Amino acid sequence: MAAEMSTGSLAMAHVYKNKPEISMLVVKVDSNYYKKAAGITTFTCEDGKLVGETVARAIATGDGQSIIAKSVGVNEAGEMVAEFFITWSFKVRKNS
């Protein structure tokens, strides 16, 4: 799931070695497919700022927070092949 990885790497960057510790979990995945993915397909997510704000809100409130991060897959010709909407949940770990 390259689409999940493109969103998850951003999420991990915002929770890595964070104090308090933050748990992260995919709770939903939606997708749209436009073309057959033949050859190299690159997935990109540009929601890093949104992820950071959501993690900060989870820390500030102590409540679980969720976002929908969008990942777009394009082929070597630059044509959109698919788009994925990954719902991530972030929560402060109580034991940290």
pLDDT tens digits, 8-27: 999 999 888 888 899 999 99
pLDDT band at 95 (very low <50, low <70, confident <90, very high): confident
Q: Tell me, what's the pLDDT at 38?
A: 87
Q: Tell me, what's the pLDDT at 17?
A: 87
27: which residues sit within 8 A by CB, 6+ positions away?
66, 87, 88, 89
Burial code (b: 16+ CB inside 10 Å, e: under 16) for 58-82 equals bbeeeeebebebbbbbbbeeeeebb
Q: Tell me, what's the pLDDT at 96?
A: 56
pLDDT tens digits, 40-90: 999 999 999 999 999 999 999 999 999 999 999 999 999 999 999 999 999
pTM higher than 0.75: yes
Which CATH code of 3.30.70.1230, 3.30.70.20, 3.40.50.150, 3.10.129.10 fits the domain covering 2-92?
3.10.129.10
